[in-house]
Amino acid sequence: MNRIIKNDFYTVTVSDIGAEIISVQGKCGGEFMWQSPSEKFWSKHSPLLFPVCGRLKNSEYTYGGKRYDMSAHGYISKKSFSLIELSESKITLSSSSDEETKMVYPFDYDFTVTYSLDGDVLRCEYTVSNRSGEPMPYMFGLHPGFALSTDGGADIEDYSLLIGKDTVQWIPLQNAVFARPYSEDFTTPSGIYRINEAEIYKNDTMIFTEVPPRVKLFSDKNAYSVDMRWSDNLPYLCIWKEPDSSAKFICLEPWTGTPADGVTDENFETRRMCRLAPGSSQLFFCELKFNC
């Protein structure tokens, strides 16, 4: 089922499946989330990533001496969420571990999502709670795909990302989808990363770190923009898009961590990732402001 929250600025549609934002329409009538025109393209809008971001070597990992299968970006985007609260401008949904999740991820948890509208800001809050009796290893990430307006004749490479820092750290990928175990300086002149399709397609995903947790997506050709601010506990920013110029969108994805090197076997007892103490919770947030 889809749920709607709204105010004078936005109408936001949220799915019970994955607690995914599938539409944000502004008062100008514009749609800000990617809507695939055909099955040929990426069919998601803004999926959540948990308990991993990216892919694991051989799509598997070990924990406590046992092997588990895990698909790319985990499974939370496919889980049904229960409605906890719904008002005109706020919604809270939750999903918890069950026998099915324990087949691939042997931990007890609650995963709660709240979307709320406050004036022209859409605030997104995500709380992970560990109900297990042992530390819980996990990763979390956002994967919003922002539809790019073609008003004023703008195309994909007419858009830029205001980062506000002249040099950031770039983590190249190896073997197509795995992260190299080092970063290197990446220059963003005047604090701006200009969307470069060939660069993104060549690298599959641009992964940056040491980026201030606030960016602005904009074009000089029209009034469209997205201001995005997120919590400091999401230290990586990934930039991805469908490798097709007719797919007019860009994904801006804050993550807690990156894929491993694709060479080392994945062991969740030793792998670098978040570890949540028993009985504790971790809050992540993202705030979005749209203009058109």
The whole-number average pLDDT for the span 225-236 is 98
> Which residues pair with residue 196 across a beta bridge?
none
Tokens found for residue 45: 């809008």
> Which residues pair with residue 115 across a beta bridge?
91, 124
- Provide the residue range defining the domain that includes 38: 2-291
Q: Is residue 128's pLDDT more than 90?
A: yes
State percent of the chain over pLDDT 70: 100
Q: Is residue 106's pLDDT more than 90?
A: yes
Quick one: pLDDT at residue 176? Answer: 86
Residue-wise pLDDT tens digits, 163-192: 999 999 999 999 889 999 999 999 999 999
| CATH number of domain containing 131 | 2.70.98.10
CB 228 within 8 A of CB 215: yes
pTM over 0.75: yes
Quick one: pLDDT at residue 23? Answer: 98
> Which residues pair with residue 108 across a beta bridge?
none
Quick one: pLDDT at residue 194? Answer: 97
Q: What is the Cα Rg of the chain in Å?
A: 19
Cis peptide before 51 (omega within 30 of 0): yes
Band the pLDDT of 140: cuts 50, 70, 90.
very high
Quick one: pLDDT at residue 10? Answer: 98
CA distance 171 to 184: 7
Q: Is residue 274's pLDDT more than 90?
A: yes
Quick one: pLDDT at residue 139? Answer: 98
Cis peptide before 259 (omega within 30 of 0): no
Q: Is residue 28's pLDDT more than 90?
A: no
Q: Where would I find the H helices in the chain?
A: 99-102, 197-203
| CA distances to 49, 57, 235, 262 from 71, in Å | 11, 10, 23, 14
What's the chain's average pLDDT?
Answer: 97
Q: Is residue 264's pLDDT more than 90?
A: yes
Q: Give the count of domains, the chain.
A: 1
| CA distances to 31, 139, 188, 193, 271 from 167, in Å | 32, 26, 6, 10, 28
